[in-house]
Amino acid sequence: MPTGTADVLLRTEGRAGFLTLNRPRAINALTHAMVLAADEALTAWEHDPAVTTVVIEGAGERGLCAGGDIRAIHDDARTGGSASAAFWRDEYRLNARIARYPKPYVALMDGIVMGGGVGLSAHGSVRVVTERSRVAMPETGIGFVPDVGGTYLLGRAPGELGTHLALTGAPVGAADAILTGLADHFVPSAELPSLVRDLTRLPADEAVARHAGAAPPGVLPEQREWIDACYPAETVEAVVRRLLASGVPAAKETATTLLAKSPTALKATLATLRRARTLATLEEVLDLEFRVSCGSLTGPDLVEGIRAQVVDKDRNPRWSPPTLPEVTDEEVDRLFAEPAGGDLGLAAARRAAAERGPRDRP
């Protein structure tokens, strides 16, 4: 039985193994130690015949997980350290593992589920949202790019909905999370305790089916027309021009939202998302995102964005360059270079494992 940590509580009950993220004051923000503890638990439960379902949940009332510990990333980036890259290596490997986990992996996506929280949940095989769910990849607001496989997920959303969510960082509720492929089932939050009890004694699909129903209507279907018309533009500048010229008030508000984000992060996000759409596997996309994440550590906007939003909280980031036209193609291309510490290599490792065959795999 894995031991867990103070920040990752583990228990088995009946047929289920429960992994509880336990930093409620920080909305269960993810640290490197938590990633390693979660991976250890998945290893133990994968080989434990008594555990037939794994459940991930968040402690407290605010949400499953608000993302990675961005204060730690801020401090590491300011000093030119290597801790963030090491964290992402293990985090992205965990994301890939969750997507291929051989047992039902049930994510209870109640409350806030953002950034790294999406990586821990939306790659799972059974993803449950409630009326309290707020699911988002808000990275452009801190000078970063959606990672943890976020561009893989959003790149496969219907039409241009994923592009809209990736660039704006807008949170979605239950119905829109299901529409965009970030979740599967709606269960009222009041029924979560009953669902948890059923997961300890029933197959995961049967347990969820007992409680799932129709989610309250979302907002994306009514916005789909202008989103699909504006976001196929070749550049972020062209997207903004289309939004402003659309004549739709919500589209014009979205243009204002975009112009407040990091210009470099917006251009890098659009480039990453479009490259992700051409890749066949999550592992390939995570390899791509790892390059961009490491590249972002060497630019000014990530540190500045976290400073403005989390450290000083003045909500007034000074982006560099400050406008979209000033961000050159060369600056964006630089983010896709191989990191100094080497590539992530998930896709190559998966190909090698496939060539060895199942008997030879670790």
Catalytic sites, residue numbers: 68, 116, 139, 147
Q: Which two structure tokens, joined as six digits, stand for 158?
A: 């219907």
Q: Which two structure tokens, joined as six digits, stand for 146?
A: 């959606």
Quote the CA–CA distance of 61 and 308 in Å, as a whole number: 26
- Written as one string, the DSSP assignment of 286-336 is HHHHHHHHHHHHTSSHHHHHHIIIIIS-------SS-SGGGS-HHHHHHTT
DSSP 68: B
The CB-side HSE value for 132 (13 A sphere, CA atoms) comes to 14
DSSP 128: E
Q: Which two structure tokens, joined as six digits, stand for 60?
A: 């407290």
Measure the CA dihedral 170/30/262/145, to 10°: -80
**How much helix, strand and coil, in percent to the nearest 5, is found in the chain?**
50, 10, 35
Helix (H) or strand (E) holding 226: helix 220-230
For the chain, the maximum distance between any two Cα atoms, rounded to a whole number of angstroms, is 60
Q: Which two structure tokens, joined as six digits, stand for 65?
A: 């997980």
Quote the CA–CA distance of 22 and 6 in Å, as a whole number: 7
112 — phi, psi (to 5°)?
Answer: -75, 125
Specify whether the CB–CB gap between 96 and 32 falls below 8 A.
no
Measure CA of the first residue to CA of the last residue in the chain; give whole Å: 19
DSSP 20: E
Assign 19 to helix, strand or coil. Answer: strand
Helix (H) or strand (E) holding 167: helix 161-168
Specify whether the CB–CB gap between 27 and 51 falls below 8 A.
no
